[in-house]
């Protein structure tokens, strides 16, 4: 099981809210799942999105499950675990993939937002310290192409270190996570080798903040999985494919 961040220090209620879960890893991979949570934040009103551009409050169904299944598959295969940060709370209360001024509307949301960002910061710092470099995969869901995966890097900005060290193929070459998923038959948008710009799923606040756009040696890629890939019938297969791609990428580093 993932280890919960205990938020009692932030909250006035006497009980501890286990609405964010973290896992310390043994490999230089961080899995982030900010939008899969199903639990209401006690006593907090839902966000209305007033003044927020591109306001979204719906859940990215089963992305938290995808992160956890992928972690378990990796651990089963190579006896090591990735780092993980997953939100159990509903996105309609707090959105960790937005800057703070767009992420929550009630002061009650601040502790949850801060805790998610702090967990990612710790994971990134630990990966850089222990491994020298690493990769954050921010897992999301989309309905535009139900059998496809959109990859987002803020049009290359969140993988500056990776591209400087590996060149253009550092993102989607045959031994990368994107390339290995494509080789397994998963349609990737934009496809490997394409010079097309990323579209609406080009990467949000998390990849922009925790990738290498502003320096550092941890890169970040947003992966938007289609609805069919996250269905009950396919989620385990998708997780195994992602786990296998991560394992292949690590072997080739």
pLDDT at 51 over 90: no
Check residue 168 and give its pLDDT. Answer: 84
Helices 235-252 and 63-78: crossing angle in degrees, nearest 10, is 50
Q: 248 or 15, which is more confident? A: 248
Check residue 54 and give its pLDDT. Answer: 85
DSSP 88: -
Q: DSSP for 170-232?
A: HHHSTTSHHHHHHHTT--EESPTT--PPP-TTS--HHHHHHSSTTSSSEEEEEEEEETGGGST
Q: What is the pLDDT of residues 66-85, one digit of tens each?
A: 999 999 999 999 999 999 99
Q: What is the pLDDT of residues 189-238, one digit of tens each?
A: 999 999 999 999 999 999 999 999 999 999 999 999 999 999 999 999 99
Distance CA 229, CA 146 (A): 7
Structure tokens at 252: 């080739």
Check residue 18 and give its pLDDT. Answer: 81
Check residue 165 and give its pLDDT. Answer: 94
- pTM of this structure: 0.93
Check residue 194 and give its pLDDT. Answer: 93
Q: What is the pLDDT of residues 132-186, one digit of tens each?
A: 999 999 999 999 999 999 999 999 999 999 999 999 899 999 999 999 999 999 9
Check residue 7 and give its pLDDT. Answer: 39
pLDDT at 40 over 60: yes
What contacts 68, CB < 8 A, 6 or more positions away? 2, 84, 86
* Confidence bin at 9 (pLDDT 50/70/90): very low
Kindly state the percentage of the chain with pLDDT values over 70: 93
Task: Yes or no: say if 175 and 227 are a contact pair by the CB < 8 Å rule.
Answer: no
Closest CA to 123 of 102, 111, 103, 137: 137
Q: What is the mean pLDDT of residues 46-51?
A: 92
52: left (phi over 0), alpha (psi -120 to 50) or beta: beta
Phi then psi for residue 85, to 5 deg, are: -135, 120
Check residue 52 and give its pLDDT. Answer: 87
Check residue 234 and give its pLDDT. Answer: 98
Structure tokens at 21: 């879960």
* Confidence bin at 6 (pLDDT 50/70/90): very low
Task: Yes or no: say if 230 and 66 are a contact pair by the CB < 8 Å rule.
Answer: yes
pLDDT at 49 over 50: yes
What average pLDDT is seen over the chain? Answer: 92
CA-only gyration radius of the chain, Å: 17
35-61 per-residue burial string, b: 16 or more CB within 10 A, e: under 16: bbbeeebeebeebeeeebeeeeeebbb
Check residue 17 and give its pLDDT. Answer: 60
Decide: helix, strand or coil at residue 247. helix
DSSP-derived pairing of the beta strands 149-152 and 218-226 = antiparallel
Q: What is the mean pLDDT of residues 101-125?
A: 96
Task: Yes or no: say if 104 and 93 are a contact pair by the CB < 8 Å rule.
Answer: yes
């Amino acid at each position: 099981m993932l280890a919960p961040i205990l938020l009692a220090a932030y909250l006035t209620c006497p009980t501890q809210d286990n609405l964010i879960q973290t896992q310390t890893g043994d490999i230089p991979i961080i899995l982030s799942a900010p939008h899969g949570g199903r639990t209401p934040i006690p006593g907090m009103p839902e966000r209305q999105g007033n003044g927020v551009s591109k306001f979204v409050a719906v859940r990215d169904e089963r992305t938290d499950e995808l992160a956890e299944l992928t972690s378990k598959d990796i651990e089963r295969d190579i006896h090591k675990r990735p780092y993980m940060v997953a939100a159990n709370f509903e996105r309609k209360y707090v959105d960790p993939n937005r800057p703070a001024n767009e992420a929550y509307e009630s002061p009650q949301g601040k502790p949850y937002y801060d805790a998610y960002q702090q967990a990612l910061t710790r994971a990134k710092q630990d990966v850089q310290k222990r491994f020298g470099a690493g990769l954050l995969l921010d897992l999301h869901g989309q309905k535009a192409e139900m059998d496809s995966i959109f990859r987002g890097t803020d049009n290359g900005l969140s993988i500056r270190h990776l591209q400087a060290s590996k060149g253009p193929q550092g993102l989607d070459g045959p031994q990368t996570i994107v390339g290995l998923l494509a080789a397994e038959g998963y349609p990737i948008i934009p496809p490997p080798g394409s010079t097309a710009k990323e579209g609406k799923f080009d990467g949000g606040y998390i990849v922009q903040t925790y990738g290498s756009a502003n320096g550092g040696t941890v890169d970040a890629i947003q992966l938007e999985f289609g609805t069919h890939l996250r269905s009950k019938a396919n989620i385990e297969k998708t997780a195994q494919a992602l786990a296998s791609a991560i394992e292949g990428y690590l072997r080739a580093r």
